[in-house]
Amino acid sequence: MRLLVVEDDPDLGRQLTDALSNNGYAVDLAADGEEGLGDTEPYDAAVLDLGLPKMDGVRVLERWRAAGKDMPVLILTARDRWSEKVAGFDAGADDYLTKPFYTEELLARLRALLRRAAGHASAALECGDLRVDTRAARASVDGEPIKLTAHEYRVLSYMMHHQGRVVPRTELVEHIYDQDFDRDSNTIEVFIGRLRRKIGSNRILTERGLGYRLIDPKAEKITE
Percent of the chain whose predicted confidence (pLDDT) is above 90: 64
Instruction: Determine the Cα–Cα distance for residues 156 and 139; give it in Å rounded to an integer.
Output: 9
The number of distinct structural domains making up the chain is 2
Say yes or no: 102 and 137 in one domain.
Answer: no
Instruction: Determine the Cα–Cα distance for residues 67 and 166; give it in Å rounded to an integer.
Output: 25
Q: Which of 111, 83, 101 is nearest to 23 (CA)?
A: 111
Question: How many Cβ atoms are within 10 Å of 203's Cβ, its own excluded?
Answer: 23
pTM above threshold 0.85:
no
Say yes or no: 198 and 105 in one domain.
Answer: no
156 in Cβ contact with 195 (< 8 Å):
yes
- Which of 117, 145, 167 corresponds to the end of one domain? 117
Instruction: Give me the CATH number covering residue 178.
Output: 1.10.10.10
Instruction: Determine the Cα–Cα distance for residues 20 and 27; give it in Å rounded to an integer.
Output: 7
Residue type, 45: A
Instruction: Give me the CATH number covering residue 58.
Output: 3.40.50.2300
> What per-residue confidence (pLDDT) applies to 184?
64
* Span 124-154, pLDDT tens digits: 899 999 999 988 889 999 999 999 998 899 9
Q: Where are the beta strands (DSSP E) in the chain?
A: 2-6, 26-30, 45-49, 73-77, 95-98, 124-127, 130-133, 138-141, 144-146, 204-207, 211-214
- Which of 117, 148, 173 corresponds to the end of one domain? 117
Whether the predicted pLDDT of 169 surpasses 60: yes
Domain limits at 190? 124-223
Distance of CA 26 to the CA centre of its chain: 8
Say yes or no: 180 and 130 in one domain.
Answer: yes
* Span 9-34, pLDDT tens digits: 999 999 999 999 999 899 999 999 99
6 in Cβ contact with 28 (< 8 Å):
no
> What per-residue confidence (pLDDT) applies to 166?
95
> What per-residue confidence (pLDDT) applies to 223?
44
Looking at every residue in the chain, the average pLDDT score rounds to 89
